Copies of this chain bind each other. A is one copy, B any other.
Amino acid sequence: MEYMTGKMATDTKELSDILTGEWEGQTIRMHGAIHRIRDMGEVVFIVLRRRDGLVQTVYEEGRSNIAIKEIREEACVEVTGTVQSEDRAPNGFEIRLEQIRILSLPVEAMPIAVNRWKMNSSLETKLDLRPLSLRNIRERAKFRLQEGIVRGFRDYLCAQGFTEIHSPKIGARGAEGGANLFRLEYFHKHAVLAQSPQFYKQMMVGVFDRVFETAPVFRAEKHSTKRHLNEYVSLDFEMGYIESYEEIMEMETGFLQYTMQLLESEYQKELQILKVRIPKTDQIPKVRFDEAKRLVAEKYDRTIRNPYDLEPEEEALIGQYAKEEWDADFVFVTHYPSKKRPFYAMDDPEDEQFTLSFDLLFQGLEVTTGGQRIHDYRMLEKKLEQRGMTDEGMEQYMMAFKHGMPPHGGLGIGLERLTMKLLGEDNVREATLFPRDLNRLEP
C-alpha cells in the first residue's frame, strides 16, 4: 500500500530560496513560463515568468548544448543552471543556463504583447483576451492586491469574533424587492439569483451575533457605466448588539486600517509594480447626507436638484471636498433619506425622514452601503405596512424577528470598486477578473 503523507517531493527552487543567498554559484533547477527572449547573438537572455516574480536566465553559446532555436516565448520550461549575482537582473541574480527542459510549447505567437511593461491595448481587447492579457505582470498584480483585500476582510473580522457564513445564491425571492433580479427556472419553480445576502446575514445575527460573507451577488441592472457590474463580489458583514450605527463604521475603518497594513507588509511587490499609493485610513471623516449636499453646493457653486439622492457627480464632488478640506481619501456620508433606503433600514428616532445609515465614498465613488437595521418585529411590520408591502415570501425572515433579534447593523462592500479605486483605475472592469455586464458574458 502506498500512502500520501502531505510532503512535497520536488527539488525545484522558488525565488525565495535563491534570495536567501545560499544557492549562489550552485546549480539549481527552476520552472517558469518564458516571458521574454532577448537574442543578442552569442548570448540570449531568457526571462522566466513565475508566480513569485521574473527570473533572468542566460544562454551562452558553447556553454551548454541547448537547442535554443526551439525555445519560444510562452513555452513552459524547467531550467537547470548556476545561480550568479547580477545587479542588472530582476531580484539581483541570474541563472546561467546548462539545460532547458521544455514542458509545453505554444502553437501560435501571442496576439498581444503581454511581456511589455504596459500593454497599450484597449480595455475591450484586454477583456476579450483575458486568459492571455492577465499574464502581463501589471495586470496580474492587480488581482494579487484584490486577494489581499479579501484576505484582510476575513482575517480582521475573524479576529473580531465574526463567523463566516455561506448563504444560498438561488432563492425564491430577492432581498430588495422585485427589481433588478435575474430570474431562472428551478425544477419548474420560479427562482431568482441573490442580489445580496441581506436577509440571510441578518437572520444569522440571531445565531452567531456577528457574521460575514464574501461571495458573488447578481444584479440585473441595465446600467452600462464604468462603475457597474451585473455580477460582483460583495464583502458583507452584519453585527449584533450595537449601541449605535457608528460602531459599524468603526468596524469598517478598522478593516481598512488592517488591510492597508496587510497590503504594505505582504503585497509590497505588487504595490511597487503598480505604483499604488496607500490611502489614508487613520481617521475617516463622517458627514451627514444633507450637510454634504450643502457643502459641495456652496463650495462648487452647484444647484441641488434631487434632495433625496446623491448623483454620481455629487459623490465625486464630496470626494473632492473631503480631499481638499480634510485631506481625506475616504469619507462616510450618513443619514440617507428614508425613502431612498430599503424597508429594513432603521429610521433616525430624532428625524424619521432620515435613516441611521451610511455610504462610504472612496475618492468620490461609493464603495460601501451600510447602516443599522430595524430589529423590533412590530416596527418591521409597521414599516412594511407603511410601504404597502406584505411579508409574502419573507416569512422566515420575519420569523427571526418574531422570536427576538438584537439591535444590529452591517454593510456590503463592492470588492471590485474598492480595488479599482485603490489601483487608481477609472473603470471597474480593470479590477474584475472576468467582468459580466450588459454586453459581456464571456470569457
The answer for the CA separation of A249 and B6 in the assembled complex, in Å, is 8
> How many residues on the A side are at the interface (Cβ–Cβ under 8 A)?
125
B3 lies within 8 A of A284 (CB): yes
Binds B, one of A91-99, A101-109, A116-124, A310-318: A101-109
Chain B residues whose C-beta falls within 8 Å of the C-beta of A187 in the assembled complex: 220, 222, 438
CB distance from A187 to the nearest CB of B (A): 6
The answer for the CA separation of A303 and B173 in the assembled complex, in Å, is 48
Is A215 part of the contact surface with B, judged by Cβ < 8 Å?
A: yes
A400 is contacted by which of B1, B78, B131, B441 (Cβ under 8 Å)? B131
Contact bitstring A249-271, B, C-beta under 8 A = 1, else 0: 11111101100000000000000
Binds B, one of A36-44, A56-64, A200-208, A349-357: A200-208
A3 is contacted by which of B172, B283, B399 (Cβ under 8 Å)? B283
Is A158 part of the contact surface with B, judged by Cβ < 8 Å?
A: yes
Chain B residues whose C-beta falls within 8 Å of the C-beta of A151 in the assembled complex: 154, 158, 164
Which A residues between 382 and 397 are near B, CB-CB below 8 angstroms? 395-397
A243 is contacted by which of B6, B10, B436 (Cβ under 8 Å)? B10
The answer for the CA separation of A94 and B76 in the assembled complex, in Å, is 64
Most chain B C-beta atoms within 10 Å of own C-beta, residue among A33, A284, A326: A33
The answer for the CA separation of A110 and B50 in the assembled complex, in Å, is 57
The answer for the CA separation of A443 and B222 in the assembled complex, in Å, is 28
Chain B residues whose C-beta falls within 8 Å of the C-beta of A172 in the assembled complex: 441-442
The answer for the CA separation of A404 and B187 in the assembled complex, in Å, is 41
Is A336 part of the contact surface with B, judged by Cβ < 8 Å?
A: no
Is A427 part of the contact surface with B, judged by Cβ < 8 Å?
A: no
**Nearest residue, chain B, Cβ from A247:** B8
**Nearest residue, chain B, Cβ from A30:** B241
Chain B residues whose C-beta falls within 8 Å of the C-beta of A285 in the assembled complex: 1-4
- A171-B441, A216-B166 known; A4+B52 contact, CB < 8 A: no
Binds B, one of A18-26, A81-89, A132-140, A363-371: A132-140
A441 is contacted by which of B6, B107, B170 (Cβ under 8 Å)? B170
Chain B residues whose C-beta falls within 8 Å of the C-beta of A407 in the assembled complex: 76, 103-104
CB distance from A4 to the nearest CB of B (A): 4
- A185-B183, A189-B441, A434-B168 known; A105+B404 contact, CB < 8 A: yes
B405 lies within 8 A of A207 (CB): no
Chain B residues whose C-beta falls within 8 Å of the C-beta of A433 in the assembled complex: 165-168, 200, 204
B184 lies within 8 A of A396 (CB): no
Is A378 part of the contact surface with B, judged by Cβ < 8 Å?
A: yes
CB distance from A430 to the nearest CB of B (A): 15
B107 lies within 8 A of A378 (CB): yes
Chain B residues whose C-beta falls within 8 Å of the C-beta of A52 in the assembled complex: 161
A104 lies within 8 A of B404 (CB): yes
Which A residues between 422 and 443 are near B, CB-CB below 8 angstroms? 433-436, 438, 441-443
Is A274 part of the contact surface with B, judged by Cβ < 8 Å?
A: no
Chain B residues whose C-beta falls within 8 Å of the C-beta of A286 in the assembled complex: 2-4
CB distance from A39 to the nearest CB of B (A): 19
Known: A129-B396, A135-B206. 11 other contacts (CB 8 A): A4-B332, A5-B250, A51-B208, A74-B403, A75-B404, A106-B377, A106-B403, A143-B208, A168-B231, A170-B441, A200-B434
Could you show 30 A-B contacts with beta carbons less than 8 Å apart?
A3-B283, A3-B284, A4-B250, A6-B253, A6-B254, A6-B281, A8-B250, A8-B254, A9-B247, A10-B247, A33-B406, A51-B163, A51-B208, A76-B375, A106-B377, A106-B402, A106-B403, A107-B378, A110-B403, A131-B396, A131-B400, A143-B208, A168-B435, A169-B218, A170-B231, A171-B442, A182-B186, A186-B230, A187-B222, A216-B216
